[in-house]
Amino acid sequence: MATATASKIHLVPELLNKATFSVPGVSKESAETTNRLLQENHEKYHIFFNQSGFHNHIAHHLLTIYALGASPSELKKAYDNNASYQRPPVALEPAVVADMHVPERYKSYLGDEKYYHDFLVYFKDEIEKKGWQEVVNDYVFKGDERADDMLVRMFGGFLHPLIHLGFGIEFQQPAIIAEALAQAAVHGAWMGAFFHGCEATTWANSPDRRSEKTIIQLLDEIRGDEKLREAPHWGDGNKIRDGIFQRGKEEMIRIASQYFAVEEELDKKVAEMVDAVVYYTAAAQHPPSIPKIDFFYMHCVNSSIFFFSLLSPSQTWLSTPAKIRLLEWKVRADLAMYASRRSPPLLLEEITEYIPMNKNPQTKDIDFWANIFSRARRFEDDGHASKLIRALAKGENVCVKFEGREGFVVQGTMWKKVASMVMDSVEAGGPSWVRGAGFEEAWEEVPLREAPGDGVRL
C-alpha cells in the first residue's frame, strides 16, 4: 500500500478521521485530485510567489477545502486560480545542500529565500533518514541554539511557517512538513528578542509560573497602555517589527510575559487562546463601516486550529514542556499582533447583534455549517476565508465546554454569527479584508452600512 513520504503526497479519505476537523463523506476522487495537485505544487513552485515574500498558499487552500468536502472540480478550480501567479523555485545547488550538513555552515544559509529549494531537499533528506518526528523535534523543539532559532522563524511571516507545519502534521504528510521547515529556514528571526525577553521576564517575576491574568485581561491592558497603543504607525512597513518592537517593546514584553500555560490545564489554555483570538478578530469593527475582518488578526485564528492536534496527548513525540512553550509563544505573538494594529476597541455587540445574511435556521447546526462550508469552498481567494471558517467550526466544537468560565467570551450562537460575518464580508465585494483594524486609514475604502441602526446587516 502506498504511503506518504518526504517526496510523495498521499492522502486517503480514511485519514480524515484523524484530522483536527473534517466533514464526513469526502470521496476517494477528491483525495486523488488533492494528491495530484499538491504533488505538482510541491515539485513546481517556490514557497513565495514573488520577491517580496508573499506566500504560496496552495497547500493550505487545498487541504482546507478537501477537509471541508470539496469536489474534484472545486479543488481544481481553486488550484488553477492560485497556480496562475506562482513562480518556480530557484535552481537547486547540490553543493549548498551538502554544505548545509556541516553544522557550522548550516546557519549561514538561514533567512534567504533563494535557498528555499536547497533547504527543501536538505530537510527531505533528513526526514527520509530519521523520520519527520525526530527531525521536527531536533530542528524546532529541542531547546538548543539551532532549534530555538528555528522556532522563532516558525512565527515569521505572520505565522505562515507554523501554519504550514500544522497542516503537514495534521494530515500526516512528511513532504508538507519538509516544505514547512524549509519555509521557516528562509524567514527572518527578528521576533526572537521578544520571545526570549518574555521568558526572561516571566522567570524573574514569577518563578512559580503562575498568573491570575486571562488573555482577555491582557488585551485590555494593552489597549489601556497609551505608549503601546500609539507605538505602531500607519506608515510602518511591518507594524510589529517597526512599530511595537521599536516604540513599545518594553511595554509589550511586560504585558505578554504575564501569560502562562500549565500542564494540568493545557486543554483549557488552548481553548482560551482560540476564544481570545476569535473575539478580537471579530470584534475589531469600525461602525458605521460594514463589518470586515482584519487580515493579520485572521492569521492568529487560522493558526489556532493546529494547536488541538499539536498539543494533543496523542503526540507523544513532542514533550510536554515543548507543548507548553509553543502555546505560550503563540499567545504572546497573538498579543503582539493585537497591539500592532493599534489596539482597536473590541465591540462585543458587533458579534452578538450581528444579523447574518444566511437564511438557514441558526438552530440547525448541520444545515448552517454545510451552507457555510459550501460558500467557503467556492469563494475565489487563496484559502484565507476557508481556513478561517474551518478554524471557527473547530473552535465552536471544542470551546463549548468552557462557556461561562472566566476568560471566555465567545459562546452560544456567537460562533455561527462570526462565521456568517466572515463569509458575508468577503462576498460583499470591495476589499475582502482590512489591514490594520485600529487605524482610520484601513477603513477608508470600506462601504458604509445601509441601516446602521438596525442590527449589523451588510
User: Which pLDDT score, from 0 to 100, does residue 289 have?
Assistant: 97
User: Which pLDDT score, from 0 to 100, does residue 206 have?
Assistant: 74
Phi, psi of 61 (to 5 degrees): -65, -50
Phi, psi of 45 (to 5 degrees): -120, 150
Question: Crossing angle, helix 266-283 and helix 215-224, to 10 degrees?
Answer: 40
Which carries the bigger pLDDT value, residue 358 or residue 322? 322
Q: What is the C-alpha to C-alpha distance for residues 303 and 148, in angstroms, rounded to an integer? A: 20
Digit-coded pLDDT (tens) for 389-405: 999 999 999 999 999 99
The DSSP-derived string for 65-130 is HHHTT--HHHHHHHHHHHHTT--PPPPP-HHHHHHHTSHHHHGGGTT-GGGHHHHHHHHHHHHHHH
- Of 81-95, 387-401, 440-454, least confident by mean pLDDT is 440-454
Grid cell of 112 as nine digits = 534567504
Contact 297, 338 (CB under 8 A): yes
Residue 439: CB atoms within 10 Å: 18
User: Per-residue pLDDT averaged across 413-426, rounded?
Assistant: 97
Look over the chain and give the mean of its residue pLDDT values, rounded to a whole number. 94
User: Per-residue pLDDT averaged across 86-106, rounded?
Assistant: 95
Which carries the bigger pLDDT value, residue 203 or residue 66? 66
Grid cell of 296 as nine digits = 493579520
Q: 296 falls in which pLDDT band (50, 70, 90)?
A: very high
Phi, psi of 103 (to 5 degrees): -50, -45
The pTM of this model reads 0.96
Q: 452 falls in which pLDDT band (50, 70, 90)?
A: very low
Q: Output DSSP code: residue 212.
A: -
Cα distances (angstroms) measured from residue 448 to each of 31, 132, 240, 293, 421: 42, 49, 29, 15, 15
Digit-coded pLDDT (tens) for 427-441: 998 899 999 999 999
Exposure on the CB side of residue 120, measured as CA atoms within 13 A: 23
Q: 361 falls in which pLDDT band (50, 70, 90)?
A: very low
Contact 56, 46 (CB under 8 A): yes
pLDDT of 249 > 50? The answer is yes
Residue 189, H or E segment: none
Domain boundaries, the chain: 1-187, 190-458
Digit-coded pLDDT (tens) for 182-237: 999 999 999 999 999 999 998 887 777 677 799 999 999 999 999 999 999 999 99
Grid cell of 367 as nine digits = 444545515
The DSSP-derived string for 376-404 is HHHS-SSSHHHHHHHHHHHHHHHHGGGTT
Q: 2 falls in which pLDDT band (50, 70, 90)?
A: confident
Measured at the CA of 427, the angle between CA 85 and CA 38, to 5 degrees, comes to 35
User: Which pLDDT score, from 0 to 100, does residue 51 have?
Assistant: 79
Q: What is the C-alpha to C-alpha distance for residues 411 and 260, in angstroms, rounded to an integer? A: 23
pLDDT of 285 > 80? The answer is yes
- For 250, residues 6+ apart whose C-beta sits below 8 A from its C-beta are none
Digit-coded pLDDT (tens) for 35-47: 999 999 999 999 9
User: Which pLDDT score, from 0 to 100, does residue 454 have?
Assistant: 46
